[in-house]
Amino acid sequence: MLDGSEVDAGSLADSRLPLALSAGAHELTVHAEMAYSRDGQGLHRAVDPADGETYLYGHLFLDAAPRVFACFDQPDLKAPFQISVRANPEWAVISNGVIEATKADRVDFAVTKPLATYFVTVCAGPYVSVTGEHRGVPLGVHARASLAAALKTHAPDILDVTRGALDYFEDLFGFDYPFGSYDQVFVPEFNAGAMENPGCVTFRDGLLYRGVATSEDIMGRSLTVAHELAHMWCGDLVTMKWWEDLWLNESFAEYLGHAALAHISDSAAPWVHGSISRKTWGYAAERAPSAHPVAASAADTEAALANFDGISYAKGRLSCASWWRPLATRLSQLA
């Protein structure tokens, strides 16, 4: 309903609903039932082949939010979200905000800070959890039930890195972690490495190693954990105006993830790891026909995704040494 009049739902195409609007205030109400996805974009539904259990998680990067809920979908149009979920009462339900109330099969989350649409997520299923706390911030690490043993093995290390990186970033930026609780959910069939949803980061669950993990494996995961936490300040609290500046999010998080881990471990090993495994990713992207400037233009979301590669992360990170400190100062002034 737009200002009390029915909108033709048949005009929905490519997840876009055209609205004829005059200047000024309007009221739009949407009731919609949307399908789960199976390609990792949107509200993904996975069935664990180990035990047949069902797991859901939202992955809305880069422009999949309209596959889940009605929104004006661009990164500089932020709004507070109030999310309620009806699910199996036996399931864990995790989202960006903290849980405010639970009643039978319904979980109500607190209103979030203003979020870009691509940061909204809900994870639901019989996830198992290891919880902790750090100076008033509730921490959670979650995985599907069939990975309970791997979760138990690796969660203490993940929580240690999280605590150390929280201290480092809070000190660096001069203000506290801004999103209440911090959950890290290792989800099945994830099509990226990790996603920085404020307060509810998702990771591919292959990072909970079931066999012997090398020190390089653990280092790589720790860098991802610190990288995602850096995004809580740069990317989430302060977000680019348009997708062409996505590289700035990633280069900054790359640089500060390495800096945080070097600080926590009192070692140069994270920088060495970055030079061996990440820098070569940037070099490979530069040799490809798809090479592009670190800061390229993005006329639309497809162009932004086409330019989202090792250049955005690893080459951009190399340029950060000169400008990250002024940017960090500016961020702390804006927040």
Rule CB under 5 A: say whether 155 interacts with Zn ion.
no
Paired tokens of 270:
């994270």
Q: Specify the 3-state DSSP secondary structure of 81.
A: coil
Say how far apart CA 156 and CA 286 lie, in whole Å: 38
Rule CB under 5 A: say whether 253 interacts with Zn ion.
yes
CB of 194 to Zn ion, least distance (A): 7
Choose the stretch contacting Zn ion; rule: CB under 5 A; options: 162-170, 197-205, 246-254, 287-295.
Answer: 246-254
CB of 234 to Zn ion, least distance (A): 9
User: Which of residues 73 and 250 has its CB atom nearest to Zn ion in the complex?
Assistant: 250
**Active-site residue, from 228, 244, 250, 286:** 228
CB of 135 to Zn ion, least distance (A): 24
Alpha-carbon 124 to chain mean position: 16
Q: Specify the 3-state DSSP secondary structure of 5.
A: strand
User: Which of residues 253 and 311 has its CB atom nearest to Zn ion in the complex?
Assistant: 253
For Zn ion (CB under 5 A), the number of binding residues is 2
Rule CB under 5 A: say whether 225 interacts with Zn ion.
no
User: Which of residues 263 and 317 has its CB atom nearest to Zn ion in the complex?
Assistant: 317
Q: Strand locations in the chain, DSSP E?
A: 42-47, 54-59, 84-86, 92-95, 99-103, 106-109, 122-125, 128-134, 137-143, 182-187, 194-195, 200-204
User: Which of residues 91 and 252 has its CB atom nearest to Zn ion in the complex?
Assistant: 252
CB 44 within 8 A of CB 56: yes
User: Which of residues 61 and 127 has its CB atom nearest to Zn ion in the complex?
Assistant: 61
Say how far apart CA 32 and CA 139 lie, in whole Å: 33
Rule CB under 5 A: say whether 256 interacts with Zn ion.
no
187 by Cβ neighbours in 10 Å (0-12 / 13-18 / 19+) ranks as buried
R_g of the chain computed on alpha carbons: 20
Rule CB under 5 A: say whether 226 interacts with Zn ion.
no
Say how far apart CA 314 and CA 285 lie, in whole Å: 10
Choose the stretch contacting Zn ion; rule: CB under 5 A; options: 113-121, 210-218, 251-259, 281-289.
Answer: 251-259
Confirm whether 6 is a catalytic residue.
no
Choose the stretch contacting Zn ion; rule: CB under 5 A; options: 3-11, 72-80, 249-257, 279-287.
Answer: 249-257
Indicate which residues carry an active-site annotation.
228
- Applying CB under 5 A, the residues found at the interface with Zn ion are 250, 253
